[in-house]
Amino acid sequence: MRAARAIIGRELSLALRSGGGAGLGLAFFLIVVLLAPLGVGPEPQALAGIAPGMLWIAALLACLLSLDRLFQADAEDGSLDALALSPLPIEAIVALKALAHWLTTGLPLAVAAPLIGVTLQLPAAAQPWLVASLAAGTPALSFLGAIGAAVTVGLRRGGLLLSVLVLPLYLPTLIFGARAVAAAAAGENPWPAFLLLGGVTLGVLAGAPFAAAAALRANLR
C-alpha cells in the first residue's frame, strides 16, 4: 500500500509541478469546445445537435495530449529500469500510473463538463449524464492510452504514432459515451448506452495493465 501511495503521490506532484502538464488537458478541452460555436455558428439548434459528440471528441483529444510522456519520461531518466526491478509488479505500476493520469486529466474534464455543456446549449436534462459518462468513460481512455504509451516508449517522436494507435481503440468509449448524452438530451433512456460504456471501462481496466506491462517488458530489453 505504501509503495502504491508513493507512486500515485509522485505522479501527482510531477504533474502539478513546472512542466508537468496537469491542467493543460483541461485547457485544451475548453479551447476545442469553445471553438465549435465559432466554426459551426451560434444557432442553438445546431450546437445542441453536435454537443454530445463534440464534447466527447474534445475529451478524447485532451486525454491524448499528455499520454506520450506517461512512460517516456521514466525511460529517459532511468526510473523505468528501477521501477521494473522494484517489488511491485510492472502491471501494478502501469495501473497506478494510468490511474494518476486519469486523476490529472480525465477527472478534471468530468468536473468542468457542466460549464462547457452550457456553452454548447446542451439541454439541462443531459448535464448530469454528461458528467456521469465522462466520469465513467475517461478511465478507459487513460488505461488504453497506457498501452499505446508502453508500445511507443522507445520512440523519439512517439506522440503521433501513439495517437494513430490509440484513437481507434477509443471508438467504443466514444460511441457509448456520446450516445448516452445524446439519448438524455433527446429525452430517451440513456441507461443502455451508459451501462455499455461502464462495461467497456471495466473490461479495459482489467486487461490494459497486462497488455501495457508486456509491451514495457519488451521495450526494456
Partner 1 sequence: MSLVVTDLACRRAGRRVLDGVGFALAPGGTLVLRGPNGAGKSTLLRALAGLLPPERGGATLDGHLALGDDPDGWAERIAYAGHLDAVKAQLTVAENLRFWAALLGADATAEAEALDAFALAPITSRLAGACSAGQRRRLGLARLALAPRRLWLLDEPTVSLDAEAAERLAAMIASHSARGGMTVVATHVALGVDGSELRLLPPAAASTAAADPFLA
Per-state percent for the chain, helix, strand, coil, to nearest 5: 85, 0, 15
Stretch that binds partner 1, among 12-20, 63-71, 169-177, 206-214 (CB under 8 A): 12-20
Q: Is 42 in the site for partner 1 (CB under 8 A)?
A: no
DSSP-assigned letter for residue 75? H
Q: Which is nearer to partner 1, 96 or 180 (CB)?
A: 96
Choosing from 30, 57, 84, 165, the residue that interacts with partner 1 (CB under 8 A) is 84
Shortest approach of partner 1 to residue 143 CB, angstroms?
Answer: 21
Q: Is 43 in the site for partner 1 (CB under 8 A)?
A: no
Choosing from 23, 41, 89, 199, the residue that interacts with partner 1 (CB under 8 A) is 89
Report the distance separating Cα 212 and Cα 90, nearest Å: 9
Choosing from 13, 115, 202, 207, the residue that interacts with partner 1 (CB under 8 A) is 13
Q: Half-sphere exposure of residue 192, counting CA atoms within 13 Å on the CB side?
A: 5
Residue 127 near residue 55, CB atoms below 8 Å: no
Residue 28 near residue 61, CB atoms below 8 Å: yes
Q: Is 164 in the site for partner 1 (CB under 8 A)?
A: no
Shortest approach of partner 1 to residue 3 CB, angstroms?
Answer: 5
Stretch that binds partner 1, among 34-42, 79-87, 107-115, 172-180 (CB under 8 A): 79-87
Which triple of cell numbers denotes residue 95? Answer: 495501473
Give the end-to-end CA distance of the chain in Å, rounded to a whole number. 28
The torsion region of residue 17 among left (phi > 0), alpha (psi -120 to 50) and beta comes to beta
Shortest approach of partner 1 to residue 208 CB, angstroms?
Answer: 21
Name the site residues for partner 1 (rule: CB under 8 A): 2-3, 5-7, 9-10, 13-14, 17-20, 76-79, 81-89, 220-221
